[in-house]
Chain A
Amino acid sequence: MASVSIRNRTERTSISKTLKSYFLVSNMLNLLIQSVINGLLMGCVYALAAMGLALIYGVMNIINFAHGEFIMLSMYLVFVLNQLFNIDPAFSPLLTIPIFFIFGMIVYYGLINRVITGPPLSQIAVTVGLLILLRNTMLAVFKAEPKGVPFTIFAGTLQLNGYVITMSRLLSAIISIFSLIILHLFLTKTYLGTTLRAVADDMETASLMGVNVKKMYALAFGLGSSLIGLAGSLIMTFQQVNPLTGILYGLLAWCIVAMAGLGGVSGVLLSGLILGVSESIGLTFWDPRAREIILYLIFILILWFKPTGLFARR
């Protein structure tokens, strides 16, 4: 009698152990899938944020160190528009896109135009100056606390199979992909777009064929900047902004551009997704505060092992 009950007990404990480990693994798996989902969504937005840089760097070979600060500026703009005019960040792209297009032109003609013929060090240095200016002006004006938008039409969550998807992230991702597709079509199917790509490929030959290179540069800068404006608006639907946000997005964008090489829109999107997922997994399983470290490690690894970019055309 006793031996039977002991055997039952051991059976029961081994069963519960299996159940526990199954539960643990499935928990881990759930966590993994959840972070992959988050990562994919974020990746789309990251790709959009980096696309502006990819365009500018690809077409003009201009090194804009202040790219992250531009994104941050766009986010602060959305905040201000929301505070002053109660504009929902979801609708702000209608304003931020044109505003940033103009802003890009101003920066181009005011600053970039002068140093484009100079050594790369000058370009970097000038944009570093811009970086200092922007970041500290934001700090002085808005102070160090994070600023967010209280309400957006994008609010809410979606439940899918037990996985949580925030509406704002989902919609932002969708809008990002949509914009990237439009951009891709623009670059490949329109005359203006192909001219831009020609200038990116070979500036000298293009100018020999009658292309007004300066105008193309200005266009590229303006276009890149409007993408930044859009990205900023979207990000504000699910995140807050503080003066240090610039570093994060700057690093992200450069990381993506390093990975994408000269791969065009698809390269940037793919890199964005990979980065988004890697970051997300790292955040979930290591430390949420280690965001930049993970990105940086990926960046350095790319530089060590595949500096020509994962999707380089050449």
Chain B
Amino acid sequence: MRILGKNMLTLLILSIVFILLPVLLQFNNYYLFLATTITFLAVIVSSWNLIGGFAGQLDLAAGAYIGLGAYTTGTLLIRFNVTPWLGMIAGGLAASTIAFLIGYPTFRFGLREVWYALSSAALVPILRTLFLLWEDVGGPAERYLPYYSWSFYHLRFSTYTVYFYILSAFFILILFINIFIKRLKIGYYLLAIRENEEAAEMLGIDTRRYKLYALILYSYIVGMIGGLYACITGYIHPSHFDFWLSIQVAVLGIVGGLGSVAGPPLITFVLGGVAEYLRSTLGAYIEGLHLIFYGIILMLIILFEPKGVSALIEKIAYRYGRRYRRF
């Protein structure tokens, strides 16, 4: 495809790496768990890039969409024996619907960004309380998905390998979407909205509509991943509505570089690894240490290079004589 050019090659190499990774890790379950967790995060972060990086809206609802996807998929499986493959599609739908209900009023032209950020942020704890009180579908106890040691229909396995492959496929897909969108009209429009919404509006861009496009796409994918998450963990519970996930995703998206395709996932693999290490070692002594770490990193980056690590790299490359190149 002419549009993708040399990015196609990168994606191909990446795909091969992902396919080979479990082999390289000798199918060690702990390492696979790490790889799965980080890839899981990377998929969400790269999706977040659509609404946060391209459209420039600070979305803090990732945790909400995961939870919604998890509950939809899980409930459909538990009650109606619907395969998660279909359940994920429904999960995405559930997430997008809620996203739309929040986005539609807050994306009105002229309404300040803060209201969307707040509404999306509040969505997570609200939904958690809601599902906690909703005894019929949720409730305080975990609801377990039917256990199978190896079932494709129920998407349950005893190792992380298959989950890792599914997530890698999603990852490659979302990277593809990122690259694709950036070359299309919608990409330009979203960036324009991010850079200066009033100017964009005056250039004939219906800012609300395009922001909603980005939001729906992002929330749908995250909703689907939420369904997968339910299968991986094996149960559904209000704790799946995790505010810290939302924060992590936004931090990684911002630090990685708003609108950059490679930056956020790259930073996810690096920082995500560090944070996970902190959590499993020191986290036992100091609760929430890895989150404090995130908080500090976020503030530092914003103060010194608000455009994120990718911009830092771009600047360095530019300084060494190369023509300006998007990273």
Nearest-neighbour CB distance to chain A for B259, whole angstroms, equals 11
A290, B133: Cβ atoms closer than 8 Å: yes
Tell me, in angstroms, the Cα distance from A223 to B118 when the chains sit together: 23
A126, B303: Cβ atoms closer than 8 Å: yes
Tell me, in angstroms, the Cα distance from A254 to B114 when the chains sit together: 10
Q: Is the interface of A mostly helix, strand, loop or mixed?
A: helix
Interface-located stretch among A90-98, A182-190, A296-304: A296-304
A296, B126: Cβ atoms closer than 8 Å: yes
Residue of A nearest to B108 (CB): A307
Tell me, in angstroms, the Cα distance from A128 to B247 when the chains sit together: 8
A140, B289: Cβ atoms closer than 8 Å: yes
Q: With contacts defined as CB atoms under 8 Å apart, how many contacts are there between chain A and chain B in the complex?
A: 120
Q: CB within 8 A of A126: which of B111, B118, B294, B299?
A: B299
Tell me, in angstroms, the Cα distance from A139 to B283 when the chains sit together: 13
Nearest-neighbour CB distance to chain A for B221, whole angstroms, equals 22
- Per the CB 8 Å criterion, the residue count for chain A at the interface is 39
Task: List residues of chain B with CB within 8 A of the CB of A122.
Answer: 302, 306
B303, A128: Cβ atoms closer than 8 Å: no
Task: List residues of chain B with CB within 8 A of the CB of A303.
Answer: 105-106, 111, 115, 119
A124 within 8 A of B: yes
B302, A125: Cβ atoms closer than 8 Å: yes
Q: CB within 8 A of B299: which of A111, A120, A143, A304?
A: A111
Nearest-neighbour CB distance to chain A for B219, whole angstroms, equals 16
Nearest-neighbour CB distance to chain B for A142, whole angstroms, equals 11
Task: List residues of chain B with CB within 8 A of the CB of A247.
Answer: 122, 125, 243
Task: List residues of chain B with CB within 8 A of the CB of A133.
Answer: 292, 295-296, 299
B132 within 8 A of A: yes
Within 8 A of A (CB), among B293-324: 294-296, 298-299, 302-303, 306
- From A111, A125, A139, residue with most partner B Cβ within 10 Å: A125
Nearest-neighbour CB distance to chain B for A137, whole angstroms, equals 7
Task: List residues of chain B with CB within 8 A of the CB of A258.
Answer: 115
- From A133, A289, A299, residue with most partner B Cβ within 10 Å: A133
Within 8 A of A (CB), among B249-305: 250-251, 254, 258, 286-289, 291-292, 294-296, 298-299, 302-303
A interface residue numbers (CB < 8 A to B): 63, 65, 111, 114-115, 118-122, 124-126, 128-133, 136-137, 139-140, 143, 247, 251, 254, 258, 287, 289-290, 292-293, 296, 299-300, 303-304, 307
Q: What would be 28 A-B contacts, judged by CB atoms less than 8 Å apart? A: A65-B121, A115-B302, A121-B113, A124-B117, A126-B302, A128-B58, A128-B251, A128-B298, A129-B298, A129-B302, A130-B295, A132-B292, A132-B294, A133-B299, A136-B291, A140-B286, A140-B288, A140-B292, A258-B115, A289-B129, A290-B129, A292-B125, A293-B129, A293-B130, A296-B123, A299-B122, A303-B106, A304-B104
Other A-B pairs beyond A126-B302, A300-B119, 15, CB < 8 Å:
A63-B114, A65-B121, A115-B302, A119-B306, A125-B58, A126-B303, A128-B58, A128-B298, A129-B295, A132-B292, A140-B289, A290-B133, A293-B129, A299-B118, A300-B105
